[in-house]
Amino acid sequence: MTEAPTTHAPNSAVQERLSRPERGDRLEVTTDSLAFEGKAVARRHDGYVIFVEGALAEERVLVEIRKAKSNFAEARLVEVIASGPDRRPALCPYFGICGGCALQHLNYEAQLNWKKLQVRDLFERVGKIASPPLRDVLAARDEYHYRNKMEFSFSEERWLLDEEIASGDVQDRFAVGLHVRERFDRVIDTQVCFLPKQVVTDIVNFTRKFARDNELGVYSPGSGRRAPASTPDETSSNASLENSTGLLRFLVVKTSYSTGEIMVNLVTSRDEPTVMEQYTRELIAAIPGITTVVNNVNQRRAQVAVGDFEKVYHGDGTIRDWIGKASFRISANSFFQSNTPQAERLYEIAAEFAELKPDDRVWDLYCGTGTISLFVADKVKSVLGIELVEAAIADARSNAKANGIKNVEFIASDLKKAVTSPPPLEGGGGGWSSPNVLIIDPPRSGMHPDVIREILKLAPERISYISCNPATQARDVALLSEGYELLDLQPVDMFPQTYHIECVAKLRRK
């Protein structure tokens, strides 16, 4: 590795500072491995490390330093001089700019191997567990077109591609698409995406044309103006297309893997029935497979794709999907796993690791809308789902009722309190029997230490721990090791082309 030349005086302080590169320096380096978030690692002879975004293992590359610290630097890839054995051409024209994918340039088998190494490293380094009992990563059935939900943003200051800047024709800056990597204020005008089904791209492209043809403006939170309040039944002339400046916020598309149903949710800054009626009519004519069209109206400054109220313009405002033997009603704002077939396989592993028996009493912690609870219900005596978010509990109860599942109950409660003293059943009916099995699926931050302490007091016989963040999972398993033995680890690839990996841990009481 060579460094940029310098003309500074050769005193000791300067020599110490020059032992690392400077921001803007361009260097040729050789990478040896991939680190967290898919960044390649180049190591200098003195131990100095450079993390290179966009490079892969065993490559000779030209990089530009973006940030330099005392013992490591971060750099962007400028040119691949000699490709590594696992590099492949990326399908997407926005790869390297868009934040949706990080690993399209890495062949899929290598992605799986790298994700396994990441899990192993985290359990050894964070969890202090030597030689963890780690299986090979369970590959996704579909490497592309697997996502059943996509959220696109509108912008009037779209990100310009190099060829657009070179052409000089950049008058129209309207965009609907995905964000630039690490830039939530910049949107790529996304005309193709390989993560969802093709119909999702068709919907995005139709919506872009409709917005341009009707000169619909994009809401900007930086304008300092609150969108005028409107009543849900407003049909007056102020809902005309001419008065829709600052209207568009998000386009959210959901698809059902099992039924093929399609939901389009246009999120706007105010209620505009005339616009929505025309949009719905023309959209369904262009793409007849769409089963429901929803308008969420968000009148707040917060840039979120959830409305203050919702109006349905076609269908019943929901789609349905299946995981295992249970069907789920999915509304515009309800949570559902983004990769349906792989979620079912994830739950199969969780059930296998729990070694479920007909007389088991299962508690499902962080149960969300009840997908795991309902998935295992027919294998056990009873399931209690516990979740803090009351709206999710309402969906879980509705899903249980719709599927005729009667041995499952759900309560909304703080996990720190509920583990040792769950609230009583609605309408009375006594308390809960202590579980002999826990299924745990916490958020990325993992479990609060207080929850772990209460689990150790509760002392169920078996724990099946699902995580979307092996780093916090390794930390939690280490804390649980006071009373539990880690028997198995199964990584599951829910999100190909990204660096994310789910993992299921099997624990048994010592």
Let me know whether 349 and 419 are in one domain: yes
Residue 103 lies in a domain: no
Let me know whether 494 and 436 are in one domain: yes
Let me know whether 315 and 351 are in one domain: no
Checking if the pLDDT of 431 tops 50, the result is: yes
Let me know whether 499 and 351 are in one domain: yes
Number of domains in the chain: 3
Residue 89 lies in a domain: no
Of 327, 165, 297, the closest CA to residue 231 belongs to: 297
pLDDT digits (tens, 9 = 90+) for 98-127: 988 999 999 999 999 999 999 999 999 999
Residue 7 lies in a domain: no
Let me know whether 162 and 308 are in one domain: yes
Let me know whether 28 and 68 are in one domain: yes
Mean pLDDT of the chain: 89
- Of the three residues 270, 296, 323, the one that is the final residue of a domain is 323
- Give the C-alpha separation, 206 to 199, whole Å: 10
Residue 56 lies in a domain: yes
Residue 92 lies in a domain: no
Maximum Cα interatomic distance, the chain, rounded to a whole number of Å: 82
Tell me which residue range forms the domain holding 28.
Answer: 12-82
Three-state secondary structure readout of 11-71: CHHHHHHCCCCCCCCEEEEEEEEECHHHCEEEECCCCCEEEEECCCCCCEEEEEEEEECCC
pLDDT value for 425: 53
Question: Are 50 and 12 spatial neighbours (Cβ–Cβ below 8 Å)?
Answer: no
Let me know whether 346 and 408 are in one domain: yes
Question: Are 176 and 203 spatial neighbours (Cβ–Cβ below 8 Å)?
Answer: no
Does residue 367 carry a catalytic annotation? no
Residue 329 lies in a domain: no
- Of the three residues 299, 323, 347, the one that is the final residue of a domain is 323
Domain at 303, CATH number: 2.40.50.1070
pLDDT value for 418: 77
- Give the C-alpha separation, 394 to 412, whole Å: 9
406-416 average pLDDT score: 90
Higher pLDDT, 421 or 403: 403
Residue 91 lies in a domain: no
Let me know whether 196 and 49 are in one domain: no
Domain at 18, CATH number: 2.40.50.140
- Give the C-alpha separation, 346 to 495, whole Å: 12
Query: Which position among 92, 367, 468, 503 bears the catalytic label?
Result: 468
- Of the three residues 294, 323, 352, the one that is the final residue of a domain is 323
Let me know whether 136 and 69 are in one domain: no
376-383 average pLDDT score: 96
pLDDT digits (tens, 9 = 90+) for 164-189: 777 776 777 899 999 998 887 899 99
Residue 1 lies in a domain: no
